[in-house]
A and B are shown apart, each in its own frame.
Chain A
Amino acid sequence: MSHSTVVTSAPKQNLWEGGRSPYNVSYGKIMMWFFLLSDALTFGALLISYGTTRFFSAVWPDPNEVFKAFPFMHGQNLPLLFVSLMTFILIMSSVTMVLAVHAGHYNDKKSVAKWLLWTIIGGICFLACQAWEWTHLHGEIGGLWGTFTDPATPTSSFSHFFNKDIAGHVLSTQPGMAMQSTHNFFNYFFTITGFHGGHVTSGVVFNILILVNTVNGVYERRGHYEMIEKIGLYWHFVDLVWVFVFTCFYLL
């Protein structure tokens, strides 16, 4: 099965003269791709401005120091473990989504419903993890956006977010600069993970809608499961963005 074997019944005509889709993709799917492209530029703008701010800051909080907590493991030093779990959950839900799309190609209603349900569960687990992480950070820094603005803030309330070997000198000589970095770090963190979390939330809602439609036989009557493909594209995009958020916030 390859594109070169497409047989054209009509006399040879220009692909672009109308009457057919030159790329063999339906309108809805093309529009989903271009929506995702614009969304990628939005996320890109957020991540690049984060990168710029980080680049012009002399010191920056160390992710290994900021993200080292895990639920029910209070006081233990477990850097990056929780976010790895979140990443695993999201990759897993991407796999179940692609399996739902695959089942849709075969008009297998039961499998589509099964894999969509798992995708929804994965999405909800991810959101629960994010809620826990935000709550934990809220407790630790005493707020979400706009924290670390008071000049009287003692250095001890943010110094533990830094790697002492690299930032120790700045922390002791210019603590205000380290505080400004901490402020920027958390503002970007909550904005970008919040924007991503909003995408996950709407993705879960879309998944629930198409699950209901699948179970009610809407797509079976329509004769195809293209809607699963379109929502699937959105869901994979959310996973894709997380790959970049994960790198920018937790690894670099």
Chain B
Amino acid sequence: MSAHHNTDSIQHLYEGDQSKLYSGVMAHHSDINSSESKTQIKKIWKVFWILLVITVVEVGMGMFFSHSISKAVINFLFLALTLLKAGYIVAIFMHLGDEFKGFIASVLIPLVLFVWFIIAFLADGFFWLRMNNSSPSREQIENVAHSTKK
């Protein structure tokens, strides 16, 4: 399944020079032309095509639909596609998907802070938007934009 975890007993190698550990691991893979290797390379290229298609879709949406679809809907789609791309890069290219669950959790759990950051800072931005009396609200701008279009 994973390219860089071995299946043998390796405990003794953790004592002292850990690099020996990896020479043991690598010994499992001797032939880059083996079918196992080829399957992995195929998977890498498959992810490349997925990333490329997602990017092309995003750019297409940005060019042709950014003003015809509701801003909230298109932004939601952009963010969803971005997270999908990020997921592929982290899981496949950075091999995080091949690590132990505990390690995946220790990398990903601190990122949950971002949920709070985004909520807190958007709330702050909203406050300042309202505080600034000289600025028209976003709805006012959109209303004017709509009425001038008609």
Residues of A within 8 A of B (CB): 1-3, 5-10, 19-28, 30, 33-34, 37, 40-41, 44-45, 48-49, 51-59, 63-64, 79-80, 84, 87-88, 91-92, 94-95, 97-99, 101-103, 105-108, 111, 163, 165-170, 174, 177, 222-226, 229, 232-233, 236-237, 239-240, 243-244, 246-247, 250-252
B29 touches A105 (CB 8 A): yes
Between A26, A105, A111, A246, the greatest number of chain B beta carbons within 10 A of the residue's beta carbon is seen for A105
Residues of B within 8 A of A (CB): 1-5, 7-11, 14-15, 18-23, 25-26, 29-32, 37, 40-41, 44-45, 47-48, 51-52, 55-56, 58-59, 61-63, 66-67, 75, 78-79, 82, 85-86, 89-90, 92-95, 99-100, 102-103, 107, 110-111, 113-114, 117-118, 121-122, 124-129, 132, 134-138, 141-142, 144-145, 148-149
Cα A9 to Cα B134 with chains together (Å)? 73
A51 touches B122 (CB 8 A): yes
With beta carbons under 8 angstroms apart, the residue of B45, B99, B125 that contacts A95 is B45
Q: Considering the complex, give the chain B residue whose CB is closest to the CB of A233.
A: B94
Cα A112 to Cα B56 with chains together (Å)? 30
Number of residue pairs A-B, CB distance < 8 angstroms = 224
A22 touches B102 (CB 8 A): yes
Q: Give chain B's interface secondary structure class.
A: helix
Instruction: For B52, list chain A residues within 8 Å (CB).
Output: 88, 91
B126 touches A55 (CB 8 A): yes
B93 touches A169 (CB 8 A): no
Question: 5 closest A-B pairs (Cβ-Cβ)?
Answer: A223-B23, A55-B125, A224-B22, A56-B128, A23-B103
With beta carbons under 8 angstroms apart, the residue of B5, B66, B67, B126 that contacts A56 is B126
Q: Considering the complex, give the chain B residue whose CB is closest to the CB of A250.
A: B62
B18 touches A91 (CB 8 A): no
Q: Give chain A's interface secondary structure class.
A: helix
- Measured CB to CB, the closest approach of chain B to A132, in angstroms, equals 19
B82 touches A244 (CB 8 A): yes
